[in-house]
Amino acid sequence: MLDIKLYKLSDFSEKNFWHVDDKAYGMHGQVISPEPLSKAINYVFETVGKKIPVIYMSPSGDLLTQEKVENHYSDLWDEFMIICGHYEWIDQRIIDLYVDYEVSIGEYVLTSWELASQVLIDALSRHIPWVLGNPLSLEEDSFSKKFDRQKEHSVYTRPEIFEGKSVPKILLSGNHAEIEKWKQNNLK
């Protein structure tokens, strides 16, 4: 089962107007303050009754790959928490005290990392047994173990001929061994 709970960080702020960030030391810009974030994290731990893994979405984290998705999914327990920074950073002390995984979806900066967390959630959720109609679909995904972490081959559907372009004959043959060879030889 996939159950996502969202928490509004400003609910944990004691500052005027419920601010959750402050000026950064030694650089320009704002950084999410440690106090409200620590309160929010501990609130979640208390609510679920245990410490759960904490993932921080950040441009400086480990780059997310299909192989890491498979490993992160098997390493995560039933529940985990994702912290989404604003611009680039949260206070480093939160990372030092709470974060188990620091994950990036690319070498660029987003205004807010909620989008990155959605990418991670979607990639992880595909490994929940009921999410995909056919569990074998995972085996032939781009970057899967079966394809040696390469992009998968081209795919085709009906009609057999579209605007003068035909489906490769081997895919219509019914010869599964030859189709598998074609797939391996036509990885992108």
Q: Which residues are catalytic?
A: 59, 88, 126, 141
Please check whether residue 156 is in contact with residue 170, taking contact to mean a CB–CB distance below 8 angstroms. Answer: no
Other Cβ atoms less than 10 A from the Cβ of 122: the count is: 11
| Residue 171 identity | L
Distance CA 28, CA 7 (A): 27
In the three-class reduction of DSSP (H, G, I as helix; E, B as strand; rest coil), residue 83 is classed as strand
Alpha-carbon distances of 57 from 38, 103, 112, rounded to whole Å: 16, 5, 10
